[in-house]
Structure 1
């Protein structure tokens, strides 16, 4: 008689000695987050917060390709395609994507405010939602395989999951550079700019993770973390700080065009992205830099995500880049100079009553 296949759980949780372990377990899609994973992760974190036997939490991804490649892009595309061209915020707030984002952003805030050490292992690909479940952790471990990016503007979306908070607080406009160019950072870059706190070589990850069962994170890091290599991105701080301090994307592009070869290449990358997403992203980064808490930023990002869901570029960007794999998107507005500033500002305007992202408690970010 044929055996019945049993699906593995998409989120694996366990308590091992003094540490609670969370494993994102969708390796075939680089552990992309779906809604059940987010709600289950939030529930177990809440449980362990009150468990005296759990002194720390460690978050890893199954397989060797990466921690997490982002959110469930197929589900978001369905809603974006249905909502494209709409101006109905209430309808957008009642989509499955909106429900996912609400719970995901609550999870991001909970990780940022967690009262126990959270060790996020940023091994392999860490993008979008993967940054959300790792970038707000108190201990963020990069490796020689780390490839970290916020590539949202390339598909007509604005960085979310607290990404504009993280990137806006990097020095020398390195976060602005990463957001507008969608550049992937390696482990050395992540440590140098402050997105990662420690560097553990990939071949030392297994003993490091095993050590967490009976050692504090500090003790395990002392034994297995090493000094990160020199960062190629950090070496470019000077020209990036000058070029990306502009008040508009057009100004940044002009400075890149007048710069050295690396600046010209950066400008060429930016020019291929969604003009509306670029404009809204730059404004969101500048606003996030003045926010008091991560939660303030998440509230703004929820607004931009819902407005992106209604703007045609998101459906087009996902279809071209992900579904058709590599086609150049045809953006709704092709030129930056044609973007109406008031239309871009509308992406962060308050939502109708009952639609805003809210938090039950006032949290403080580390």
Structure 2
């Protein structure tokens, strides 16, 4: 049985990818490597319990011996690297974890994979791929009239998070050009969908709205992001793994530029329709809070290369994806309550004080 190895497979995007991958007929087995930090949740993968195709290992990507053991034992034909600290606000208040995971962890993983790749026979080497999942935030901030980010946009990260991801991108590129490792890099826009940890904008708004709490919006709410439904992202990664050219990067976007305030209004309006309050609208709970330091004004992804060369484009519109997302949270309140630990509540109270 052939395997792929997925890092960060209990996190939001990684877990959605693992679930999506194993739902495909004839899919390789998944060796799922996750440290299980605060945002990793094995209950997201509960439907895979007892499935021999899903092999979970609680391993830190900074643990070289652990990685070597897994690579030697399972002989994966590909490594997909999702593992990352990914919340900008957390990186502002505690950047050390981001440097350790996103830079040191990526380096350690690359070193382990480089040694593994060197020991493969010619046929296995020809088919092997290392796919690095990154973010559009490495490109910095756009003005309102600027062209969207392309694969050749200059890197200009503005937060400790995006700087750490930029460093990891550069390491991956260097391991291709220096050592011949067959790497692929994807830079995606803001993901949303099922199983998203409730510190991020959309699940935070849904959770606070349903519990009668303020809906905190940074600054004037006019910061713009492109929004990509997570399962569309998963399908894009599958296509890049299947068809992508080693050494190349591919931008993945949803073609949905929205201000943060537009996103919050959409959440409120969907909740008004799907679970109306006794009185008034959920919009009444919106509260503007002090902007975060260095808040990038606009991100926008040009995903035409992925469509032109690999034939991929998103299936979900913003409207259809958001309706599915809000409905999922309404239907899965047990999952939501399970991840709302005391530490999480204290963190939200500290950083989103009205």
Asked whether the two chains share a fold, i.e. TM above 0.5, the reply is no
> Where is the strand percentage greater, Structure 1 or Structure 2?
2
TM-score, normalized by length of structure 2?
0.29
TM-score, normalized by length of structure 1?
0.28
